[in-house]
Structure 1
Amino acid sequence: MTTSAQIGTVIACVLALAACGQAGEAPATKTVPSSPATPSSPTAPTTSSGWCRAGDLKISTSEGAGPSDIYRSFTINLESAKGSACTIGGTLSDVRFLSSSGTELDVPIAGGQQDASLAITVDPAHPAVVYLKAPKDAKPEPVKSISFTLPGNGQPGDPVLVDWIAPLGGPVQLGLIAAPVS
């Protein structure tokens, strides 16, 4: 990795942490039982390299220790689903928290609109994450799943539906897609 690529990776991690207010080591997490990402429309073809599509990724959610006494910390985990590599970067769009019946819940979203110019490679040894934080004192909604659209790199991204870990209230702040902080 070149020096400028290393600097770019460090900057992306700092931006992701700043967006979520986390510092230090990654929190201990509990993860929703593994289930592959479910495209909310017909599955797009997967790639063995190139830009990540929903079929290239195993997507899960987890909750960790909050970055402070006033926030809860969550992670959307993006891992290689097929043992191959693909590239992804930017922000998730069309983020919605859903009830068990699929009804959109009143969980406001804030953030996720930072500069999205850094892309990272996801492969079996290098997952990607999106860090989220939500106020601990917010009225919790009975969230059972989250839907969002993956970045599309100049073309429409894939819509995805994934199980969610716990009840949640907003406003929820989302970070950029980044390498996990270890």
Structure 2
Amino acid sequence: MNKIRLTAVALAGATLLTVAGTPAQAETPWCTGSDLVVSAHDMRSPSSASKAHQIRFAAAEGVSCTIGGSLSDVRFLDADGEDLGIEPTVQSGEYVEVPVGGYREAAVYVASQIHGPRVTPASIRITLPGQDGPGDSVTVAWPSNLSPVVRLGSLTAPVS
């Protein structure tokens, strides 16, 4: 009986040493353009004075990564890829880093005035935030018209 207890204690001790000696899991890598599936969608606006959109950042199959900060070099493009000249205001909120992967996504909310002239972009080109500066540039289809007065928020976990 004592041999069994000693063997169990020895195995438990060896297991603890193995776990304690294992290096910590590597941090989740920063998202690049190829890590993400980026899409733009119409959404219901919380204000009757604005039209709302959401840009979603989902991880590609089998990827887990982290993204945070603000988008830069945001350009709305026509069907020929020409810049429509819309200069969005990028509102910087509290800086957060959002883990993306599995069911977790990140989002940027976009608002434009409901009244006034309208333009219908075919796509939006954005530069993702990199870990130490600007990241990759991605272009995605844009779902509908908007006013040339556009505001973009910072990356955040999406509101359900």
TM over 0.5: yes
Match of 2:135 in 1: 157
RMSD, matched Cα: 1.6
Render the CA deviation track for 1:125-159: whole Å, top value 9, x for unaligned: 10110001100113111200000100011044001
Counterpart for residue 32 of structure 2: 53
1:114-134 deviation digits (Å, cap 9, x = unpaired): 443x21100111011000110
Residue of structure 1 in register with 2:60 after alignment: 81
CA distance in 1, matches of 2:29, 2:106: 15
The correspondence of residues 2-17 of structure 1 with structure 2, limited to 5 A, is: none
Aligned residue pair count: 134
- Are 1:171 and 2:153 matched, yes or no? no
Query: Which residue of structure 2 aligns with residue 122 of structure 1?
Result: 100
Specify the alignment match of 2:12 in structure 1. Answer: none
1:67 and 2:46 equivalent?
yes
Matched AA of 1:103: E
Deviates more, 1:165-174 or 1:125-134: 165-174
- Contact 2:110–2:150 (Cα < 8 Å) also in 1: yes
Aligned equivalent of 1:100: 79
* Residue ranges of structure 2 left out of the alignment (5+ in a row): 1-27
Show structure 1 runs of 4+ deviating over 4 A.
none
Maintained 8 Å contact 2:43/2:52: yes
Residue type of the alignment partner of 2:34: G
Percentage of identical aligned residues: 36
The letter for the 2-side match of 1:126 is R
Distance 2:154 2:92 in 1: 8
**Residue 34 of structure 2: SS of its match in structure 1?**
helix
- How high is the TM-score relative to the length of structure 2? 0.78
**Aligned residues of 1:92 and 1:112 also touching (Cα < 8 A):** no
The answer to whether the Cα contact below 8 Å between 2:51 and 2:146 also exists between their aligned partners in 1 is: no
Residue identity opposite 2:36 in structure 1: L
Q: CA deviation at 1:110?
A: 1.4
What's the offset of the Cα at 1:107? Answer: 2.2
| Structure 1 position 145 matched with structure 2 position 133 | no
